Amino acid sequence: MFGFGKKIEKDPKKALDNADKAINSGVSGFLTKTFMGQDFVDQTNASLNMAKNYTDTGNLAQTGMGGTAEVLSIADTGALINYNPVVKMKLNITPQFGPAFQADVETAVSKIAIPRVGDKINIKYNPANTSQVLII
């Protein structure tokens, strides 16, 4: 009833899906909307979506295609992940193999090494979804 004795979910994607269900459906979703308000639910959903995107790009360190990117523009979103800022960047990506292309990316960057316009950075990206970029 209260979650005592429940198995703790170790897979981050499943844990995020469970949190999404708890906030948006069933009795807990109804109570959350009633007592916390729709603004709280909207902010929580935005955070969950950001976390889902971040976990999707997490495996790019092993599976992503390598390349370099030139920062064409950068803007702060106001969000933080582990106290690191999340930024929107327009990148001119030069992959190791194939032609260069541009991508709009939203990603967390180190607060002590925030890229600037004109900087060249090493990246890994998902060739199936070029908006998934990991700065390495």
Contact between 123 and 93 (Cβ < 8 Å): yes
| pLDDT in the model for residue 94 | 94
| pLDDT in the model for residue 3 | 58
Give me the residue spans of the domains in the chain.
12-58, 64-135
**20 Cβ partners below 8 Å, 6+ apart?**
45, 48
Q: What is the pLDDT of residues 16-35, one digit of tens each?
A: 888 888 888 888 888 888 88
Contact between 119 and 109 (Cβ < 8 Å): no
Pairing state of beta strands 65-81 and 120-126? antiparallel
pLDDT band at 2 (very low <50, low <70, confident <90, very high): low
Contact between 134 and 65 (Cβ < 8 Å): no
From the list 109, 75, 76, 104, the residue with the least C-alpha distance to 91 is: 104
Query: What's the chain's average pLDDT?
Result: 85
Q: What is the pLDDT of residues 93-128, one digit of tens each?
A: 999 888 999 999 888 888 998 999 999 999 988 888
pLDDT at 51 over 60: yes
| pLDDT in the model for residue 46 | 81
- String of DSSP letters for 11-25: -HHHHHHHHHHHHHS
Q: What is the mean pLDDT of residues 67-71?
A: 95
| pLDDT in the model for residue 55 | 67
The model carries a pTM of 0.63
| pLDDT in the model for residue 1 | 45
Q: What is the mean pLDDT of residues 74-78?
A: 93
